[in-house]
Each structure stands twice: as structure tokens, then as C-alpha cells.
A = this chain, B = another copy of it.
Amino acid sequence: MFHVNENFLKIPGSYLFAEIAQRVQRFRNSHPETELIRLGIGDVTQPLVPAVIDALHRGVEEMAHRETFKGYGPDYGYDFLIQAILKGDYESRGICLDRDELFISDGSKCDVGSIQELFSPDARIAVTDPVYPVYVDSNAMAGRAGDFTGDHWNRIVYLPCSAENGFVPEMPQEPVDVLYLCYPNNPTGTVLTREQLQHIVEWARKEHVLIIYDAAYRAYITTEGIPGSIYEIPGAEEVAIECCSFSKTAGFTGTRCAYMVIPHAVKGMDEKGRLVELNGLWKRRTSTKFNGVSYPVQCGAAAVFSPEGQVQIRKVIAGYMKNAAIIREGLTRRGYEVWGGKDAPYIWLKIPGHQTSWDFFDVLLEKAGVVGTPGSGFGPCGEGYFRLTAFNTEEATRAAMERFSRI
């Protein structure tokens, strides 16, 4: 008899966005006249920029003619895109990488979800709390998370991030093998200074911990000196894998393109105590289970790094960050304590009084017709907080802030 992977059965349903959808639907049924404003979802709303659109069309047109048609591409990505990323995202930061240290993929969710395939089955995983759920769930599916007890997994090490520690995680006392970090952070919108990140890298080097660094929001950094890549910290290239994506940088959430850096110097130990490059293991994994990213999409992604592309995406990001400022100022003026929104498209607010995240969700929905995301959905330490996003239009964002006066 065929038996299933038992670990899947331990995972609680993904209730957060389903629960939000249900409550919103109930409200709409009882208040059909209210126009809702959504500041909840982390999806972009502005169209792809002209430079990207042109490159996508050109890529499609190449597929129409025998002379320029592209069949299977390189599993790890086309050289023209790899070179564009190395130059635009790394050399520009003074970071020198080999071309075979960068892998093109169809999404950071896929990369951060699959990288755990390279870890030993009993690797101890540490994550910040609150956290992007994929880091935890992908390890739970592979049996590394233990059992889910109420609000956490008993084999995952959670590093609390709250107002009390300025959202800077303290490194664990107990031994761990892998640490997932996302900075600028989803959901809190906070960042680490160079010194804070350096401290973590030094700890990882000393303790031989692998860091999975998710830099999906780095294009939103505006504060001088905040690292946009973990490789800005010397020595990080020996302990860190870094993911980034075109989703938030260039509006590719529905177009799908991302990349992951695995330096040759990042190594793990095998049973016999020999060091093994993770780069080689990922190559093997990729060539077995992946067939590369759509050619026209890679053309579009490369255009992000053209001079026009850069000007155009900067303008879109500036628009989102204007919304972030509107939210920050609007909330601050109303007496809320807020974080994020300076170097990230997320604003994390402290809920006044003793309301839970879901209480506040209901109040905001019912009195103001504004939809956000309850902080507790991202982990126990998110309780008492609430996430708003800067991805709606300026008009809707301003209107949402007006409506905050109703609560």
C-alpha cells in the first residue's frame, strides 16, 4: 500500500489569507455600499515598465522564427541575464561573484522553498518571529520542524523580533544549523544596519551556521548605508546564500523571475567530515528538477538593468514609497507607533490598547472599510501588531489614511 509523507499531515491549514477573505466577504455582504480599500496583500499593482514590455515582445518575436527560436535554455539561466544581474546588482555594490554562483529561477518562493533539499534531514532551523511562512513550512514538509503545538513547531528555533528589541533578532544560545533572514523584512518593514548584520555573520561563521538571506525588498532601501546584499559584509560569502527576485523590484509577481546566489565558498559537512560545496549540490538539484525560466521572461528581466529600465523601475518604486510615507505620516499623526515604510513597502504598526491583531482587523474593516493583515498571522510575536502595504494607488492610500480617523 502506498503511504504518504506524514510530515504534510502535521501542517496546519494556511488560514491567514483564507480567514481574511472570509471576513471581508461577510463584511461586503452586510455593507454592500462600502467601497473597501485593500492595504493587505503584498502584491504590486503598477504595470510592467516600457523597457521590460519591449524586451518581452522582442523575446516573444524571436520564438516566432526558426533562426531565432529558443528551445531548452541553460538550466541555470541565460548568460545575458546572469551577467546583467552580476553587474547591476552585485558589481554595483562592490561584490564580485563568479557567473556560476548565480542561478536564475521562476521565483524566490520556489528558491527559498527548495533550498532546504540540500540540508541534512535533522538540520536545526532558526527563523525570526514574525516570519514569512515559506521558510518554516518547507522545512516542516521535509520533517525538520518536529510537531506543531498550538502556535509553533517544537523543532524550529524562533528568534523573537518586537518593539522591545527593536526588531533585531538575538542569536540563539542553543545550537542551530541554518538561519533564515529576510531584510528589508517582511512583514515588519524593518532593516538591519551594517553593524547588526555583521554581528550575525560573525556569529554564523563562528558557529558554522548557514544563512539563507532573502533580499526580495532591497530595491526599496532608501537609508544610506543599509546593506542591500549580505555579501557587503566581509566573510558572508562563506556562510550565506542570498535570494532576490524581480517581483517587487520590477513588478514581476505575475511574470515570474528570480535568482539565487550560492558562492563556491559556502560549504557543508558530509558524514565523513569532508566539506562539500552547496553550489555543486544546487546545480545537481536544478538540472534534475528544473528546466530553466521562459526565454522571453529572461529577456524582460534583463531589460530591468538597462539605463531606461532602471529609470523606469525607480519611478515605480518611488511611487510605492510615497504611499509608504503617506501611511507612516498618517498613522504617526494619529498617535500610532509604526515601523518600516522607510526602506520597505511594509508598515508595521503597534495596535493600541489590548486588542488582538484580529480584533483590530475587524475594527478597521467595519469602521473604516480598510483591509490589512493581522500580525499574528506571521507568528506568535506578531500578535499585537498589524501590517499595511504600500502597493495600492496613492489615491486609495490617502483615502485609507483619512478613514483611520473613524476608528
A interface vs B, CB < 8 Å?
A: 1-6, 8-9, 11, 14, 43-48, 50, 53, 56-57, 60-61, 63-66, 69-73, 106-107, 109-110, 113-114, 117-123, 133-134, 137-138, 141, 143, 177-178, 208-210, 251, 253-256, 268-271, 276, 278, 281, 284-285, 287-297
Contact = CB atoms under 8 A, between A and B. Distances in A.
Contacts of A8: 118, 281, 284-285
Nearest to A56: B60
A352 to B, nearest CB: 32
A253 B271 CA distance: 38
A15 to B, nearest CB: 12
Nearest to A63: B48
Nearest to A175: B1
Nearest to A143: B121
A4 B119 contact: yes
Contact of A64 (B50, B208, B284): B50
A64 B60 contact: no
A320 to B, nearest CB: 13
B269 A3 contact: yes
Given A69-B47, A289-B134, A63 B255 contact: yes
- Shortest 7 CB-CB distances between A and B: which pairs? A113-B289, A4-B268, A3-B120, A70-B254, A43-B71, A1-B208, A47-B69
A278 B4 contact: yes
A253 B177 contact: no
Given A56-B63, A141-B288, A1 B269 contact: yes
